[in-house]
């Protein structure tokens, strides 16, 4: 399939319909309630019993003196307390994370032990960029569907307040060679190498693609240019996300939140601290963050570096019912997609959405709740534009006509990653849990979760409300 760079940018702008928040909201079609179920013969039903998370906080704030396993442990303990399930009934624990703390490289295991689980309970950690906890969930689904487990905790954690900063490769080699230097001459030679200024230059982590060397923000800016997404549309969407998150918080809808007590601090943390409703006047004052001075991505219409952890309990349906638990949702079909990370890095939802709908036999009109990961406002609008484009459908999806964009009156109504925060490894559980909670609150049947991730990867999942 041709990459986006092989298309005429000008022709693409002309033919693709720029999707604005107001236009979508005013033309949203009413969903037709479906009565069919997505249960498959000879495959165990997997249910979401409950999902929780710590408050998501901007990095460098109240969590800054902790370690990531502290947050992960809290999500585990809080989940068991919320559900009343004995930890000895858990067959497996799997967590997602992106930037690992080297002291707790298998953070799922370390958090599980810190939470008081039996050392006989196995656990492992997965990483798949921003969809790491999506992968944790689907790993658990696979274990249960295959009959290997009955009850799995899937979660994720990210801690951007203390990322590993490495010595230069030159210095690392010097340190390793020093263990073998036995003679004064060899030690003096190492000292001379160590005095080089280049040896003392640290390697700082960056949210960048190894294969292209480009930061995600640069990719997002180019994506917005290709799809004709204006700065105004991006700022409007960001304001929408923050306002919806503020409204949901005030209304007590974010029931997945666990109060967190930081040691030596009197008050509990009970809210996400990155929610900041703003105005177009304030937003317009911010300068481009990546492609200067003409880029459209700013600090306010992009997700921010975040600390946080999440966890969910998934079970076979029969196991949950035998314990007297009332599940929130069935976890149905899911897909992973991937494409060119150079030009299509952030288009995961545009590829995953039609694929998971086809797999489940559903259409966009069957979906009552959409929960998409908001890496950037422009990234969301570009994906919605692609879904609403016949050109994109024919050239990139192999379809005769467009899939259609989600109705905005069903889309991320309790805020999203732009406002709530985006701990890379933990966002997937938040998306799935929020989809389930919204289905219950809004009396819907089907939810669709979709997300993009570094490497040009994407994910889509169908969540069905439990009867």
Domain range annotation of the chain? 21-33+41-162+304-465
Q: What is the pLDDT of residue 395?
A: 95
Active-site residue flag, 312: no
Q: What is the pLDDT of residue 182?
A: 87
**Burial (CB count within 10 angstroms: exposed 0-12, middle 13-18, buried 19+), residue 50:** buried
Which residue do the tokens 């990210």 mark?
158
> Model confidence at 24, in pLDDT bands (50, 70, 90)?
very low
Mean pLDDT throughout 427-452?
98
> Model confidence at 93, in pLDDT bands (50, 70, 90)?
very high
Among candidate residues 149, 224, 312, 452, the one labeled active-site is 452
**CA atoms of 207 and 427, how far apart (whole Å):** 16
Among candidate residues 130, 149, 224, 312, the one labeled active-site is 130
Q: What is the pLDDT of residue 192?
A: 80
**CA atoms of 70 and 102, how far apart (whole Å):** 15
* DSSP letter string, 364-419: GGG-SEEEE--SBHHHHHHHHHHHT-HHHIIIII--SS---PPPGGGBSBTB-HHH
Sign of CA dihedral 144, 148, 151, 154: negative
Q: What is the pLDDT of residue 168?
A: 84
**CA atoms of 364 and 410, how far apart (whole Å):** 11
Mean predicted lDDT score pLDDT of the chain: 91
Q: What is the pLDDT of residue 416?
A: 98
**pLDDT tens readout for residues 386-401:** 999 999 999 999 999 9
Give the gyration radius of the chain's Cα atoms.
Answer: 23
Name the percent of the chain lying above pLDDT 90.
77
**CA atoms of 7 and 56, how far apart (whole Å):** 39
**pLDDT tens readout for residues 141-162:** 999 999 999 999 999 999 999 9
Task: Name the residue with higher pLDDT: 109 or 198.
Answer: 109
Task: Name the residue with higher pLDDT: 197 or 73.
Answer: 73
Q: Out of 1.10.3720.10, 3.90.1150.10, 3.30.230.10, 3.40.47.10, which CATH number does the structure's domain 21-33+41-162+304-465 have?
A: 3.40.47.10
Active-site residue flag, 130: yes
- What is the per-residue burial (b if ≥16 Cβ within 10 Å, else e) of 15-31? ebbbbbbeebeeeeeeb
């Amino acid at each position: 399939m041709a990459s986006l760079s092989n298309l005429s940018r000008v022709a693409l702008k002309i033919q693709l319909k720029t999707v604005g928040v107001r236009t979508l909201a005013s033309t949203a079609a009413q969903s037709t309630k479906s009565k069919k179920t997505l249960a498959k013969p000879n495959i165990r039903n997997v249910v979401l019993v409950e999902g929780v998370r710590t408050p998501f906080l901007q990095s460098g704030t109240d969590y800054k003196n902790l370690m990531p396993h502290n947050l992960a442990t809290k999500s585990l303990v809080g989940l068991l307390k919320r559900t009343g399930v004995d930890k000895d009934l858990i067959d497996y624990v799997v967590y997602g994370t992106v930037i690992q703390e080297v002291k707790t490289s298998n953070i799922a295991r370390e958090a599980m032990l810190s939470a008081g689980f039996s050392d006989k309970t196995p656990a492992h950690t997965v990483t798949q960029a921003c969809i790491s906890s999506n992968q944790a969930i689907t790993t658990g689904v696979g274990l249960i569907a295959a009959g290997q487990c009955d009850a799995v905790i899937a979660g994720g954690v990210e801690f951007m307040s203390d990322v590993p900063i490495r010595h230069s490769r030159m210095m690392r080699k010097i340190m390793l060679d020093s263990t073998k230097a036995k003679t004064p001459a060899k030690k003096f030679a190492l000292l001379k190498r160590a005095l080089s200024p280049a040896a003392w230059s640290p390697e700082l982590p960056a949210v960048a693609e190894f294969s292209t060397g480009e930061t995600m923000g640069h990719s997002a800016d180019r994506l917005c240019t290709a799809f004709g997404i204006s700065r105004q549309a991006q700022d409007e969407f960001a304001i929408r996300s923050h306002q919806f998150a503020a409204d949901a918080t005030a209304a007590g809808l974010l029931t997945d939140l666990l109060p967190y007590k930081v040691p030596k601090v009197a008050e509990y943390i009970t809210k996400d601290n990155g929610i900041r409703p703003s105005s177009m006047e304030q937003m317009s004052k911010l300068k481009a963050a990546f492609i200067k001075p003409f880029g459209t991505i700013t600090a306010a219409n992009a997700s921010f570096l975040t600390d946080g952890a999440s966890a969910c309990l998934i079970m076979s349906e029969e196991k949950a019912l035998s314990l007297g638990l009332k599940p929130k949702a069935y976890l149905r079909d899911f897909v992973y997609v991937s494409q060119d990370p150079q030009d299509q890095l952030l288009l995961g939802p545009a590829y995953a959405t039609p694929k998971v709908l086809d797999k489940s036999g559903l259409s966009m009109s069957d979906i009552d709740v959409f929960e998409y990961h908001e890496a950037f406002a422009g990234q969301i609008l570009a994906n919605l534009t692609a879904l609403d484009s016949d050109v994109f459908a024919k050239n990139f999806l192999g379809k005769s006509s467009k899939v259609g964009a989600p109705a905005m009156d069903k889309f991320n109504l309790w805020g999203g990653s732009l406002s709530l925060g985006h701990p890379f490894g933990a966002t997937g559980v938040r998306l799935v849990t929020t989809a389930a909670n919204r289905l219950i609150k809004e009396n819907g049947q089907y939810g669709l979760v979709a997300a993009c991730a570094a490497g040009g990867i994407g994910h889509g999942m169908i969540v069905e409300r439990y009867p």
